[in-house]
Amino acid sequence: MNKAQLVEAIADKLGGRQQAADAVDAVLDAMVRAVVAGDRVSVTGFGSFEKVDRPARYARNPQTGERVRVKKTSVPRFRAGQGFKDLVAGTKKLPKGGEVSVKKAPKGSLTGGASATVKKAAAKKATTAKKAAAKTAVAKKTTATAKKTATAKKVVAKTAAAKKTTATAKKTTAAAKKAAPAAKKTTAAAKKTAPAAKKATAKTTAPAKKTTARKTTAKKTTARKK
């Protein structure tokens, strides 16, 4: 049975061929979209469709027998339900009188299907938003901590520089204090040496003056004799 035959088979039950074709297309489209998105489509009594990840592997080329590497891929997989298996195996008989072979959905399950899907989508979006907000908060805290650490390091560096400057100033002051007594001693020694230098100058000058006076007197005497 192909798709056209399937449409013909359910056309009478749905009120026409166009309605049946639209119904088949809608059902298949919904199933394909759900499986591609990674959801599992399960129909009670019929089976389930799901997406399966197939890892990379080696296979044989059926024509040449050459060993070929197959890349990682995803494939759809169908698992028949127990009711479907029992009907195919013959352990159960197909219902007569136009009744469907697949179990009908329980009452109330069809009314909440759409709302449940919407709720799941909303819950996923809310969870994603919460995770994003949490990551943003962590990033902000990390940035703030980094800024505080950098500021603390700068303060520590400034404090260390200030301590070094203070230590240098203290050393300079101590050296100045040590040099002050020596300067005082030098000044005192200079003061003591000054009177002695004055006396020595006076003594040296006095004989020189006497010698000059004698020479002057001798010249005057020589002049008179002439």
35-64, pLDDT tens digit by residue? 999 999 999 989 999 999 999 999 999 999
Q: What is the pLDDT of residue 13?
A: 87
Q: In the sheet where 73-80 sits, what is the strand order?
A: 41-43, 47-54, 73-80
Query: Which tops the pLDDT comparison, 215 or 154?
Result: 154
For residue 196, name the pLDDT band (cuts at 50, 70, 90).
Answer: low
For residue 118, pLDDT over 50 is answered with no
Our CA dihedral for 17, 22, 28, 29, rounded to 10 degrees, sits at 160
- Over residues 20-46, the mean pLDDT reads 94
Q: What is the pLDDT of residue 20?
A: 93
Residues 6+ apart with CB under 8 A from 197: none
- Over residues 86-92, the mean pLDDT reads 91
- Over residues 63-70, the mean pLDDT reads 93
Greatest mean pLDDT among 50-59, 103-112, 155-164 lies in: 50-59
- Over residues 82-98, the mean pLDDT reads 86
Q: What is the pLDDT of residue 30?
A: 96
**109 neighbors 115 (Cβ within 8 angstroms):** no
Residues 6+ apart with CB under 8 A from 95: 101
Match 């002050």 to its residue by tokens.
180
Q: What is the pTM of this model?
A: 0.45
Match 């700068």 to its residue by tokens.
154
- Over residues 167-187, the mean pLDDT reads 68
| Residue 16 DSSP label | S
User: Cα-flanking dihedrals φ and ψ of residue 68, to 5°?
Assistant: -125, 140
Tell me, rounded to whole angstroms, the distance of Cα 188 from its chain centroid: 74
